[in-house]
């Protein structure tokens, strides 16, 4: 096989906001690398920006086989009984087939291989693990084969949210609901779902605004409830500020504000028990999920009344509602089947829009 150098690998990477090059490797990250020191530490870990959810290698090649040399740093176990996210690589073939490769071991160096791909010229996408920081150390293709970056003129969708958008614990990177949507609708995905870290950070809005985009979706609320980081006084103003930052660069790009999905115990309660999991005590705020839905709908109504006709509100329960509660094993995160349901419903809604 022939080796492809890092300088040739970098142009193949899509869905990242930057690359950190160090010690003979490329580390895709989902925030601008120069801004990382300015973010809260919670945004700078394999739990969040350092995991490549939605990131993939996209290229044209006539290779019959592919080998990736990688190094992994999985998320830390937040509790002793918490499983690590699955670590899998998905190769999407031109006919839509998905080939999955899973490395041995949870940490350190590994080699990922795909075989018997055919020697015809084809478009390939290798989706990186959604819940594990990945350093790319090398790429090899068949001797004599060609490889080149593949242009992508599909509509660019940038989506922001919590762990429910990150989807770290599904079986593979094409099983996240944003990935399902992107493939169903033919959209080019940038996923900014961050486990536990969707708190309307102004620098995230700034990073999103700097991207070319044909559609934004902001799935807001659940992390604010779980950590009680905002109150009624600050919730809607920060949402307005986030939107205003996007509008400075994208005055007419469609924006969909998505409220929390159904979550039993949070619908009409402003108390969170999440801190108990980590040895803390419950926290009491002043916003229930239903309160948040009302505030988000009001934000959208007000902006539309002021002339913004390309912003809309979507109740998250249209994607995952009370009738789906049996697919909510911890009362908060959908199961893999639940995420699949969210993806299919989202795709149906936006296919009609």
Mean pLDDT of each 10-residue bin along the chain, 353 residues long: 95 98 95 98 94 98 97 77 89 97 84 97 98 96 97 97 97 98 98 97 98 98 96 98 98 98 96 84 95 98 98 98 97 97 98 74
Q: Which fold is adopted by the domain 2-149?
A: Jelly Rolls (2.60.120)
Indicate the domain borders of the chain.
Answer: 2-149, 156-352
Domain 156-352 coded CATH 3.40.50.1110: yes
Position 277 scores a pLDDT of: 78
H or E element, residue 352: helix 336-352
pLDDT number for residue 78: 66
Rounded Cα–Cα distance for residues 106 and 104 (Å): 7
pLDDT for 143 = 97
In terms of Cβ atoms closer than 10 Å to its own Cβ (0-12, 13-18, 19+), residue 203 is middle
Q: Which residues pair with 314 in a beta bridge?
A: 258
Write down the pLDDT at residue 73: 87
pLDDT at 353: 56
Within 13 A of 156's CA, how many CA atoms are on the CB side? Answer: 17
CA–CA separation, 136 vs 28, rounded Å?
8
Query: DSSP string covering 312-346, please?
Result: EEE-GGGTS-GGGGGG-TTSSSPPHHHHHHHHHHH
Task: State the Cα–Cα distance between residues 48 and 17, nearest whole angstrom.
Answer: 13
Burial letters 300-323, b for 16+ CB under 10 A, else e: beebeeeebebbbbbebbebbeee
């Amino acid at each position: 096989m022939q080796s492809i150098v890092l300088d040739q690998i970098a142009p193949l990477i899509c869905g990242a906001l930057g690359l950190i090059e160090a010690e003979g490797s490329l580390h895709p990250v989902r925030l601008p690398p120069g801004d990382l020191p300015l973010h809260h530490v919670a945004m700078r870990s394999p739990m969040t920006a350092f995991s490549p959810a939605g990131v993939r290698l996209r290229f044209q090649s006539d290779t019959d086989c592919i080998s990736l040399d990688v190094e992994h740093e999985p998320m830390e176990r937040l509790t002793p009984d918490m499983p690590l996210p699955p670590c899998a690589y998905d190769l999407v073939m031109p006919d839509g087939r998905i080939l999955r490769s899973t490395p041995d071991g949870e940490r350190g160096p590994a080699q990922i291989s795909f075989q018997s791909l055919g020697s015809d010229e084809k478009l390939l996408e290798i989706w990186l693990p959604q819940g594990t920081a990945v350093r790319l150390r090398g790429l090899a293709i068949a001797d004599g084969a060609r490889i080149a970056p593949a242009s992508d003129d599909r509509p660019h969708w940038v989506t922001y949210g919590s762990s429910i958008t990150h989807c770290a614990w599904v079986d593979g990177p094409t099983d996240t609901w944003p990935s399902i949507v992107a493939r169903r609708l033919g959209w080019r995905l940038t996923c900014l779902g961050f486990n536990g870290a969707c708190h309307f950070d102004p620098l995230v809005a700034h990073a999103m605004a700097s991207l070319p985009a044909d559609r934004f979706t902001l799935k807001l609320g659940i992390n604010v409830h779980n950590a009680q980081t905002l109150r009624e006084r600050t919730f809607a103003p920060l949402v307005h500020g986030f939107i205003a930052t996007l509008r400075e660069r994208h005055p007419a790009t469609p924006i969909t504000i998505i409220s929390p999905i159904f979550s039993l115990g949070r619908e009409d309660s402003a108390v969170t028990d999440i801190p108990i999991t980590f040895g803390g005590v419950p926290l009491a705020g002043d916003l229930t999920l239903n309160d948040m839905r009302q505030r988000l709908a009001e934000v959208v109504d007000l902006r539309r009344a002021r002339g913004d006709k390309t912003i809309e509100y979507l109740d998250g329960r249209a994607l995952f509602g009370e009738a789906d509660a049996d697919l909510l094993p911890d009362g908060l995160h959908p199961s893999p089947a639940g995420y699949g349901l969210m993806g299919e419903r989202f795709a149906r809604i936006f296919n009609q829009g």
